[in-house]
Structure 1
Amino acid sequence: MTVELVSVERRLWSGNARFVIARTTVGEVGILPGHQPMLAQLEEAGTVRIDGTDGAKNTIAVHGGFLSVSAERVSILAEFAEHAGEIDVERARRALDRADDSDDGKAAKARAEARLRAAEAR
C-alpha cells in the first residue's frame, strides 16, 4: 500500500509499506493493505510506525492531525512530526521533568513522552 506522512512543515515519509500502526483518539490501529476505509483523528501526542516493503521500520512522533485510509492508500496529515532519529532525547527528558499539572504542562508531558517512545523504538 502507498503511505504518505506529512506535517505542516514537510513530508516525513512517502513510499510503499506493508504495515502501519498509529495512535488515534479512540485507540491504536493497525493497518494492512486492503484495510477498511476510515478517517480518524490522531492522538494529540502519539507515535506512528510505518513498516516499509524494504523491511525498514520507521517510527515517528506525531502531534495532532488526521489519518485517512483507503484500500491501498494511507495518508497521515500531522500538525507536527519528528523522525525518531531527529529527537533530542535529553531535551525531551528535560521537558518531561519540567511539566507541571496545568493543562499546558500536561500537553507538554504528553508530547515529551511521545518523543521518548519514538526515540526508544529506533
Structure 2
Amino acid sequence: MSTLRLEIVTPERKVYEEDVDMVVVKGVAGELGILPNHIPLATPLKIAPIKAKKGGKDEYVAVHGGFMEVRKDKVVILAEAAELGNDIDLIRARQAKERAERRLADKAANVDHKRAELALQRALSRISAAGGE
C-alpha cells in the first residue's frame, strides 16, 4: 500500500512529519479522510485532533485551527498551534476544560464568552488527542 507524507507546521516549528497511510481531519465543512493520490484540496480546519493512520496504529495531534493543503502525495497542515497527543499533559488539559466551562456558565457581562468557547474547544481537542475521552 502506498503512503503519503503528512507535515504539520506551526509558526514556531514543524510538529509532525511522517509517511502515513491515511489522514483524518475535521474541516469546517465536515470530517475528511485523505488517502494517497487524493485530488488536490485546500480547506480551513476546525479546532480538533488530527488522526494519522500509520501501520495499523493511530497517532493523534491536537490542532488549534489552521488550513490543510492536499497534494497527490503530501498533506500539509498549517496550524496556529499543534501538540502531539503523547506530549499533552492530560491533567492540565482537564483543568483548562473546567476553567473554560466555569467561565461559560458565568453570565456576567465582563466574561468574554467567545474566548471561553475557544478555550473549551482547545481543551477538548487536547484531551481527545491525548486519549482522555
1:51 and 2:62 are equivalent in the alignment: no
In the alignment, which residue of structure 1 is the partner of 2:120?
109
- Consecutive aligned runs of 4 or more in structure 1 exceeding 2 Å deviation: 54-57
Between Structure 1 and Structure 2, the one with more strand by share is 1
SS in 1 for 2:80: strand
Alignment: residue pair count: 119
Letter of the 2:76 partner, please give it.
S
Note the alpha carbon deviations across 1:5-56, whole angstroms, 9 max, x for none. 111111111121110001111111000011111100010x21111123x444
Larger radius of gyration: 2
Per-residue Cα deviation, 1:56-84 (whole angstroms, up to 9, x for no partner):
42200000111000121111111100001
CA RMSD of aligned residues (A): 1.4
> Does residue 82 of the first structure (1) align with residue 93 of the second (2)?
no
Separation in structure 1 between the aligned mates of residue 76 and residue 114 of structure 2, nearest angstrom: 30
Percent identity of paired positions between Structure 1 and Structure 2: 36
Tell me, which stretches of 5 or more residues in structure 1 are unaligned? none
- Which residue of the partner structure matches residue 93 of structure 2? 92
CA distance in 2, matches of 1:98, 1:51: 32
Counterpart of 2:119, as a letter, is A
CA distance in 1, matches of 2:6, 2:28: 20
